[in-house]
Amino acid sequence: MRAWLVCAAVLLTPLAPAAAPVHACPAPTVPVYPGSQPAADDGSAWPVVAGNTFIATTAPLVDIQAFYYLRLPNEGWAPVTQLPGQYPDQHDMGSSPSVRGANVPQAVLEFSRNADHEHVRIMGVGGGYSIYVDCSD
C-alpha cells in the first residue's frame, strides 16, 4: 500500500500548481498623462500597471515629461541618473557642449523606488509615448 501511495505522489506532483514566490513584488502603478488614450482603449491601462503600454496622445513630449517629473516624485519615485552615452541625445554632435533647451524633450525618462526594486521607463514614440513598468525582487 505504501509503495502505491509513493508512486501516485510521484506521478501526480507535476500536475500540482506551482507555489507562489514568498517575496513576490507587487506591480507598481503609474498614472497616465491626462487626456491621453491607451492603445486598447478599454480602460485596462488606467493607471499603467506592469509591462509595456503604448499611450496615444497629441500632447508634446515636453509636456508629458514635465507631468511625470512633477507627479512621480510625489508618489515616491526618484529619477534614475542616466549613464554617460546611454542615450543618443547625450552625445555632443558639435564642437561646443550641447545645452538642452527648455522645450527639447529627453529621449527617455527613468524612475525607480522601493530600494530600486520598482522601475519606470517613459519613451516618446510616434503618436504618443510608451511606459515600461517593472518590479523585481
Q: Is residue 96 part of a domain?
A: no
Q: Is residue 37 part of a domain?
A: yes
Q: Is residue 45 part of a domain?
A: yes
Q: Is residue 90 part of a domain?
A: no
CA distance 105 to 49: 24
In this prediction the pTM is 0.65
- Domain interval for residue 45: 22-84+103-135
Q: Is residue 2 part of a domain?
A: no
Q: Is residue 43 part of a domain?
A: yes
Q: What is the pLDDT of residues 20-43, one digit of tens each?
A: 444 467 778 888 898 887 655 555
Q: What is the pLDDT of residues 44-85, one digit of tens each?
A: 445 666 688 888 899 999 999 999 999 999 999 999 987 666
Q: Is residue 62 part of a domain?
A: yes
Domain count of the chain? 1
